Amino acid sequence: MRNGRGLTNLPAAHHAFVDHVKPAILLALNSGLRRSEIMRLEWKSVDFKARTITVAPATSKVKRSRVIPMNAEAYATLMAWRRQVAFARVFANEIGEPLREVRDWQKVLREAQIEHFRFMDTRHHTATRMINEGASQFHVQRLLGHKDSRMSQRYMKARETKLAEALALLDRPRSGIDGSGAQAA
C-alpha cells in the first residue's frame, strides 16, 4: 500500500532509506551518472533482470543513449529503493515530479565533514576508482558518456599516480635479502 507521497506505508523498520538522498548518492558513486541523469531517471529505464540502466537521449547531456551496467551496490540500492516508491521517476518529489537537486546535499557534506565536494565530483570519484582498479580509458569514456576521449584523459593521472606508488614499493628496505639480491645466510 502506498501513501500520497509515493512511499509505501510499511513501518519505518521495513524501509531501507528514509528519503531519496542516500540512494541517489550511492547510485551516483556506483554508476558515474550525472546528477541530471539521476534526477530524470525513470523506472522503465532500469532493467533489474539485465542489471542495467539505460540513459535515454532526452536525459543525457550529450543527447545520446547509453547503457550502464549496475554493480552489486547500485543494484541492491535500486532494488531496495524500488520497494519504497510508486512513481514513474526513480527520484521524485511528493507528487511525482522530478527532483532537480539532491535535497540537503550541503547538510550531508557538513555532517560527513567533507569540504569542497560538489555532486558532480561523484562522477570524478567513480572514474578515478575505475581507472585505479584497472579499467581502460575507453571503458571509462563509454560509461561516463563522454563524446571525446580528451574528457576521460584527465582520469589517467590517477593511474599514473598509482604507477608511481607501485614503483615506490621498491624503495622499501628488503628483508632477508642482501644488496646483491641474494638471500642472506
The grid cell for 13 is 523498520
Q: Does 152 score more than 90 pLDDT?
A: no
Run of H or E residues at 46: strand 46-47
Q: Express each pLDDT in 76-100 by its tens digit.
A: 999 999 999 989 999 998 888 888 8
pLDDT for 159: 64
The set of long-range contacts for 148-151, using a CB threshold of 8 Å and a minimum separation of 24, is: none
Question: How many CA within 13 A on the CB side of residue 141?
Answer: 13
Q: Do residues 165 and 77 share a domain?
A: no
Query: What is the residue whose three cell numbers read 576508482?
Result: 129
The set of long-range contacts for 138-141, using a CB threshold of 8 Å and a minimum separation of 24, is: 140/32
Range of the domain at 134: 120-170
Percent of residues, the chain, with pLDDT higher than 70: 79
Of residues 36 and 63, more confidence is placed in 36
**Calpha distance 63→179 (Å, rounded):** 60
Query: What is the residue whose three cell numbers read 522530478?
Result: 98
Q: Does residue 182 belong to any structural domain of this protein? A: no
Binning pLDDT at 50, 70 and 90, where does residue 1 land?
Answer: very low
Q: Does residue 178 belong to any structural domain of this protein? A: no
Q: Do residues 50 and 132 share a domain?
A: no
Residue 158, C-beta contacts closer than 8 angstroms, at least 6 positions apart = 128, 131, 132
**Calpha distance 165→49 (Å, rounded):** 40
Q: Do residues 99 and 21 share a domain?
A: yes
Query: What is the residue whose three cell numbers read 593521472?
Result: 157
Of residues 160 and 57, more confidence is placed in 57
Q: Do residues 140 and 53 share a domain?
A: no
| CB contact at 8 A, 83 and 8 | yes
- Among 117, 144, 159, the domain boundary falls at 117
Q: Does residue 184 belong to any structural domain of this protein? A: no
Structural domain count of the chain:
2
